[in-house]
Chain A
C-alpha cells in the first residue's frame, strides 16, 4: 500500500505491507534510526514519536495508520544546528546514562511542555510514566525537563 507521511517537515512516500509497524517505516525504510526499539511490547516508550503532535508508541501502530499524518522524530527537534531546550536540558543536567530511552524521553517531554509550560515535579513524573529508564532513577531526567521548562518560559526555544 502506498503511504504518504510528513516526517520532521519533509514529505515521504513508501510502498509498504499493511503489517509494517510505524517504527520500522521510520527506522528501516526512511533510515531515521534515532527512534529506538526497546521492549517491542508497548511498555518502555523508547520508540515514542509525535503523531500530529501527540506522543505515541511507534511500535504499536501500523505505518498505514499514519497515512496523511505528521510525524516528528527525535531528529526533528534540533533546528538550524541549535538544540531544542529539552535536548539542552538532558545534556546540562546529565539526564541520561546509556541513552537508550533518551529519544523517547525527549519526544514525550517536548510535547508535554507545550501543553504544560510550568509543571510541578509530580506532573513531570506523571507525564513520563510511559517512558522507562533503567539507568538514572529519573532524578536527573526530572531536572532536565525542569531545565527545559524554565528555558522555554524565558523564550529560549
Chain B
C-alpha cells in the first residue's frame, strides 16, 4: 500500500520544526517513530500534505532524573524505556507498559511521546501517565508550556496540542519512598491493542494509609480515562483488600466501554474491575519493597 503524496521536511532543530508546523498548520503532521502514522497513511486514513520528520533533531532521546522529576525526551523509543535499568528498577509501571506495546520491532522505532501525542484511547502510555500524574512539555511558536496529562486528552485522536506545537518532553514526579505502580493489560495476541488495561500507582505511608492513588484506564472510552472516583476513594484509607475491592468497582463504573470485536461492553467493564484489583495489589506489593 502506497501513501498519498506529501512534501517532506527533516529539520534539525525544534525551532525550525515549529516554524514549518506554524507555516503549514493542519496540513502538516509530525513524523517521529511513525508506527501509528505510517500505517494510517498507507490506508489513506491520514493524508497529510506535509510531513515534518523530527528524528534528525539532536538531543531529544533521553531518560534521566533531576530536580524531583523523571524526564523522557521526545525521541526516546519504547525499546529504550524497556531496556533502561533506571526504569526497570525505579519505575516498574513504565517498564510494564513499554513491554506490552505492539511488538519488539515496532518498539525499536515507536516513541513514548508519540504514544501520547497520537491521542489514541487504545494506546498504553496515556493510562500510565495519568496514574503517575505526569506533565507534558509542548513547544510552539509562542514558546514552551506545560500541560498536566489529566487535561491533555480532549477527544478521540485529539489532544490539547495545537497544530504548531511539538510534544518535547514528559515530566514525571519522582515517586516518594513507599510508592509503587503496575500496568496490567489483556490483549488477544502480541501486538494487539488492549481489550482493556489498567495502570495504578500508589503511595503508602508506614501505617498502611494510602497517601496518593493514580488510576488510568486504556481503551474503554473515547479517551484514556482517569478514574477519579476510585482515586479519591482510596485517598487516606488503609490500602486493604476491602478498599481495593471498592476502588475497583468504582473504576469499573467510570469506564465507558463499547462492544466491538474484542468483546461486549459489560465484559470489558468487568475486566476493568478485575485488572484494577490486580494492578492495585501489585502496586501495593511494589510499594512495600521501596519504589
Q: Which residues of A contact B (CB under 8 A)?
A: 1, 17-19, 21, 40-43, 45, 48, 51, 54-57, 60-62, 64-65, 67, 108, 126-127, 129-131
Contacts and interface: CB of A to CB of B under 8 A. Distances in A.
Given A62-B31, A130-B190, 12 more contacts: A17-B5, A18-B51, A19-B3, A60-B34, A60-B35, A60-B39, A61-B109, A62-B34, A62-B38, A108-B104, A129-B103, A130-B103
A131 B108 CA distance: 14
Nearest to A45: B105
B190 A129 contact: yes
Nearest to B39: A42
B108 A64 contact: no
Contacts of A42: 35, 38-39, 102, 106
A56 B5 CA distance: 23
B38 A60 contact: yes
Contact of B4 (A19, A45, A129): A19
Contacts of B53: 64-65
Contact of A130 (B3, B5, B39, B104): B104
A76 B51 CA distance: 31
Contact of A40 (B6, B7, B42, B104): B42
Interface string B30-44: 010011001101100
Contacts of B108: 51, 54-56
A48 B105 contact: yes
Interface of B: 1-8, 10, 31, 34-35, 38-39, 41-42, 51, 53, 55, 79, 102-106, 108-109, 190-191
Contacts, number: 78
B129 to A, nearest CB: 24
Given A40-B1, A130-B190, A64 B105 contact: no
Contacts of B79: 54
Given A18-B7, A19-B4, A40-B42, A57 B55 contact: no
B contact patch SS = loop
Nearest to A19: B3
Q: Which of B6, B38, B53, B102 counts the most A-chain CB atoms under 10 A from its CB? A: B38
20 contacts: A1-B8, A18-B6, A18-B51, A19-B2, A19-B6, A21-B2, A21-B42, A41-B1, A41-B39, A42-B38, A54-B79, A61-B109, A62-B38, A64-B10, A67-B10, A127-B104, A129-B103, A129-B190, A130-B102, A131-B105
Nearest to A69: B55
A62 B185 CA distance: 31
A21 B104 CA distance: 20
Contacts of B106: 42, 57, 60, 130
B105 A55 contact: yes
Contacts of A21: 2, 38, 42
A129 B2 CA distance: 26
